[in-house]
Amino acid sequence: MGVHDNADSKYNVMGASSFSKLAPKRPTTVVFNENPSKIQKHEDSQQNVQTENVDKGSISLQQQRKSLPVYRLRKRLLEEIRRNSTLVIIGETGSGKTTQIPQLLLPSGIAGTSGCIGITQPRRVAAVSVARRVAQEQGVETGKLVGYCVRFEDVTSSQTRIKYLTDGMMVREAMTDEILSDYSVVILDEAHERSVQTDVLLGVVRRAQNLRKLKNLLPLKLLVMSATMDVDKFTKYFQAPAVYLEGRQHPVKIYHAVKTQEDYAFSALVTAFQIHRDNPANEDILVFLTGQEEIEAAVVSARQVAKQLDGQGYPPLKVFPLYSALPTHQQLEAFKPSPPGMRKLVLSTNVAETSVTIGGIRHVIDTGVVKARTHHPTTGLDVLRVEKVSKAQAWQRTGRAGREAAGKCYRIYTKEDFERMMEMPVPEIQRCSLAGVALQLLAIGVDITTFDFMDKPPKEAVDVAVTCLEKLGAVKGSPPQLTTLGRTMSLFPLDPRFTKVILASVEHHCLEEALTVVALLSGESVFTDPPAKRQQAYVARSRFASPEGDHVTLLNVFRAYTNMKQKKVWCHENFLHHRNLEYATEVRQQLAALAERANLEKASCGTNTEQLRKALLEGLYDNLAELQRDQTYVTVSSKQPVAIHPSSTLHSSKPPLILFTEVVATGRCYLRGLSVIESSWLNEKGLNIGKCD
């Protein structure tokens, strides 16, 4: 029987009432196996004792640094780096790769005297938090010697020599500077994540290295780092050697659920409160969930339960959401250590999976799922769905519990479920829409059809991408060449179809509205949907609802929001996400600046929002669905049966032709973000239903 069986009754006393309110018929205990399946042994037990027993505040940062394996092995490591123009570095999490290697390179002379060391991260919050840590270790202000550059924030200066940036930002830099002349060393960190942008960078950086050689310029040093990765593949691709670093991971005990859990989010919360009941307050908890909506709902439940436990001898509990749509400063809130006597519960997406150290975390709860976007080249649809993680991802999550001291990881799935997981995630490049990547590569001067990817995307997907760009007017000829329009499109950090909407809006005199709607679509939903107040939320939303569809509805929301003085209060009253609207405002400003650089004519269509729908059609003409005789919908291009998502303002109307922005697969395919389209507009554009493709 599981370790938590005995505690059942005690748990019921404290927690059952609260949870039964949320979900009356479910058990209130998640049972885990008795024997942890794997105990990660410490490499160096003596040192383990040292770091674990000493109060964290009393050892200096410098002492902490010196205890890391990377530091201890620095001589040999630097020698290897010096000797090879490219080196693959494998080191367990916590060995000090991300924070220490750049700091070792700087005084070694390997980075030259003026060039920058650029370290890429797959995620914004990782780049920011690591840069801050390293600045602190160097005793400097962030943005001087050590800085970071992420979308919407460039915290670097002419003095910056160590620069953390997202992989996407580096691809953008390569678009205007193909030899990456600012850098003497480029470090591709967390290469195992294989985000599209990392995969593009693998090729782009290798190309920059060769170009510099050809032009007899200063060489570019390249380091590819990861904790878990397919070493052979990387060494072969780069024709470079690999070095291994031992880890300094503290031991983490792993518990698997004894039975498959029906509702992972609920089980994760129950587990969190079991931990809350049984452990000292200084041990913080990190839960991996899949997305903003799920996390926000869990935050509400957890806060309710915490409130009910108030005064029953439990330490106070502070709950933090963590996901990429949160503004960076709010994401960083979750990283701050909690005050003594108070416990922190962080509910996060996979943004906390790699690279980051969240102070205080000793317990990780892994639900084993992640939300991922998958592109189907045959149907041309990008579908967002919840999927099982790979073993590599599960280990990364586990590792988050042992960054600062010994920890525990509770997996909300069985040992057998774990065994059945894939070893590595499928590289994103093999499963996403490639139109954006193709455009970026062409802007760098590279043809995607011949580009040497580490894992080639399916030929079909490449063809679809090139055809899509041709149809948008961004490329022509064979091999494909960028048109003037395509060059302008490459300036925008968006899916080319959305960029097209912005560019085409000029012709329809609605640039202002197009910028607003595209900005809103770039973030997460602005509507909140509290389960307890669904009816009120519905009424509030209907005040903005437009019979023209969700895009005009979004526009109505944004227009009202901008005119409002007390924005936060107003959002609350109207069941709107203040943060997401703030985020959209920031994105809009960026897009407006790019539009100005591209000399796009400013215009507003006012109440004539039909213009906006016409502009949307220019970019998203492949995303149409048509009403059938039996009152169901099928997509125009691939005849796929689809349904209108219940959240859409068009849910109860049945327009003959609709344009959609997103497909969500939950059993069946639902369309989200809809606009009513007149079929006569298609004729105007020379498009015909059934001939779209």
Q: Residue 56 to residues 51, 64, 286, 404, 476: CA-CA distances in angstroms?
A: 8, 9, 20, 9, 60
Total of residues contacting Mg ion (CB under 5 A) = 3
Binding of ligand CDP at residue 315 (CB under 6 A)? no
Give residues with Cβ within 8 angstroms of 214, minimum separation 6.
none
Closer to Mg ion by Cβ: residue 164 or 498: 164
Question: Do residues 418 and 388 lie in contact, with contact meaning Cβ atoms separated by under 8 Å?
Answer: no
Q: Which of 14, 30, 90, 94 binds ligand CDP (CB under 6 A)?
A: 94
Site string for ligand CDP, 51-90 (x = CB under 6 A): -----------------x----------------------
505: closest CA among 372, 628, 601, 380?
A: 601
Instruction: Show the site string, 380-419: x = touches ligand CDP by CB under 6 A, - = not.
Output: -----------------------xx---------------
Q: Hey, what are 494's tokens?
A: 């968006």
- The answer to whether the Cα torsion of 594, 597, 602, 605 is positive or negative is negative
CA separation for the pair 340, 338 (Å, rounded): 6
Q: At what angle do helices 435-444 and 459-472 cross, to 10 degrees?
A: 80
| Cis amide linkage into residue 479, ω under 30° from 0 | yes
By rule CB under 6 A, what count of residues binds ligand CDP?
15
* Closer CB to ligand CDP, 92 or 513, in the complex: 92
Q: Are 612 and 556 in contact (CB under 8 A)?
A: no
Query: Which of the residues 91 through 120 are near Mg ion (CB under 5 A)?
Result: 97-98
> By the 8 A CB rule, do 473 and 483 touch?
yes
Near ligand CDP by CB under 6 A: residue from 72, 74, 133, 362: 133
**DSSP letter string, 287-324:** EE-S-HHHHHHHHHHHHHHHHHHTTTTPPPEEEEEE-T
Query: Dihedral of the CA atoms 115, 117, 123, 129 (nearest 10)?
Result: -110
| Residue 160 binding target from ligand CDP, Mg ion, none, CB below 5 to 8 Å by type | none
Q: Which of 395, 520, 375 is nearest to 436 (CA)?
A: 375
Which of the choices Mg ion, ligand CDP, none does residue 95 contact, using the CB cut-off of 5 to 8 A by kind? Answer: ligand CDP
**Binder to ligand CDP among 42, 97, 388, 397 (CB under 6 A)?**
97
Residue 565 burial (10 A CB sphere; 0-12, 13-18, 19+): exposed
Contact 449, 466 (CB under 8 A): yes
Q: What does 366 interact with, of ligand CDP, Mg ion, none (CB < 5 to 8 A by kind)?
A: none
Tell me how far, at minimum, the Cβ of 66 lies from ligand CDP, in Å. Answer: 11
| Residue 274 binds to ligand CDP (criterion: CB under 6 A) | no
- Cα–Cα distance for residue pair 85/70, rounded to 1 Å: 19
- Residue 267, CA distances (Å) to 252, 302, 337, 410, 683 in order: 21, 12, 26, 11, 53
Q: Which residue number, 248 or 509, has a Cβ lying nearer to ligand CDP?
A: 248
Q: Is the dihedral of CA 474, 477, 478, 481 positive or negative?
A: negative
Q: Which does 397 bind (CB under 5 to 8 A by kind): Mg ion, ligand CDP, none?
A: none
CB of 134 to Mg ion, least distance (A): 12
Token pair, residue 284, equals 């913080």
DSSP helix/strand/coil, 283: coil
Decide which of Mg ion, ligand CDP, none touches 367; Cβ closer than 5 to 8 Å per partner kind. Answer: none
Site for ligand CDP contains 99 (CB under 6 A): yes
Q: Closest by alpha carbon to 252, among 46, 415, 403?
A: 403
Q: What distances in angstroms separate CA 173 from CA 116, 144, 443, one per listed residue?
A: 13, 20, 11
| Nearest-approach distance from CB 637 to ligand CDP, in angstroms | 44
Among 195, 261, 350, 355, which residue interacts with Mg ion (rule: CB under 5 A)?
Answer: 355
Q: Which of Mg ion, ligand CDP, none binds 315 (CB below 5-8 Å, type-dependent)?
A: none
Instruction: Identify what 357 binds: Mg ion, ligand CDP, none; CB under 5 to 8 Å per kind.
Output: ligand CDP
Please state, in angstroms and rounded to a whole number, the distance separating the CA atoms of residues 343 and 284.
6
Q: Is the CB of 404 or the CB of 550 nearer to ligand CDP? A: 404
Nearest to 552 by CA among 581, 517, 511: 517
What is the distance between the alpha carbons of residues 294 and 177, in angstroms, rounded to a whole number? Answer: 41
Cα 616 from Cα 555, distance rounded (Å): 13
Q: State the helix-helix crossing angle for 97-108 and 124-138, rounded to 10 degrees.
A: 50
Q: CB 96 → Mg ion: shortest distance, Å?
A: 8
The reply on whether position 267 binds Mg ion by CB under 5 A is: no
Minimal distance, residue 68 CB to Mg ion, in Å: 11
Dig out the tokens for 539 from the structure.
């009424």
360 binds ligand CDP (CB under 6 A): no
Name which of 96 and 118 has its Cβ closer to ligand CDP: 96
Number of H helices, E strands in the chain: 27, 23
Q: What does 574 bind: ligand CDP, Mg ion, none (CB cut-off 5 to 8 Å by kind)?
A: none
Among 18, 95, 267, 274, binds ligand CDP (CB under 6 A): 95
The H or E element that residue 673 is part of is: strand 668-676
- Residue 91 as a binder of ligand CDP (CB under 6 A): the answer is yes
Nearer to Mg ion, 165 or 297 (CB): 165
Nearer to ligand CDP, 104 or 295 (CB): 104
Task: Map residues 103-132 to x or -, x wherever contact with ligand CDP holds by CB under 6 A.
Answer: --------------------------x---
**Residues 213-272 close enough to bind ligand CDP by CB under 6 A:** none
> Residue 339 CB: number of other CB atoms within 10 A?
10
Cβ-based nearer residue to ligand CDP, 93 or 580: 93
Shorter beta-carbon distance to ligand CDP: residue 93 or 367 = 93
> Which residue's beta carbon is nearest to the bound Mg ion?
98
Nearer CB in complex with Mg ion: 68/171: 68
- In the shown chain, the binding pattern of residues 148 to 187 toward ligand CDP, with x for contact by CB under 6 A and - for none, equals ----------------------------------------
- Locate 216 and state its tokens: 């007899």
Stretch that binds ligand CDP, among 5-13, 98-106, 364-372, 378-386 (CB under 6 A): 98-106
Asked if 42 interacts with ligand CDP (CB under 6 A), we say: no
- For residue 64, the Cα-to-chain-centroid distance in whole angstroms is 30
Element holding 466 (H helix, E strand)? helix 459-472
Q: Which of residues 568-597 bind Mg ion (CB under 5 A)?
A: none
Decide: is 348 part of the binding site for Mg ion (CB under 5 A).
no
Nearer residue to ligand CDP within complex by CB, 361 or 625? 361
* Residue 45: CB minimum distance to ligand CDP, A: 17
- Check binding of 138 to ligand CDP (CB under 6 A): no
CB of 73 to ligand CDP, least distance (A): 12
Residue 375 binding ligand CDP, by CB under 6 A = no
- Where does this chain bind ligand CDP (CB under 6 A)? 68, 91, 93-100, 129, 133, 357, 403-404
- Where does this chain bind Mg ion (CB under 5 A)? 97-98, 355
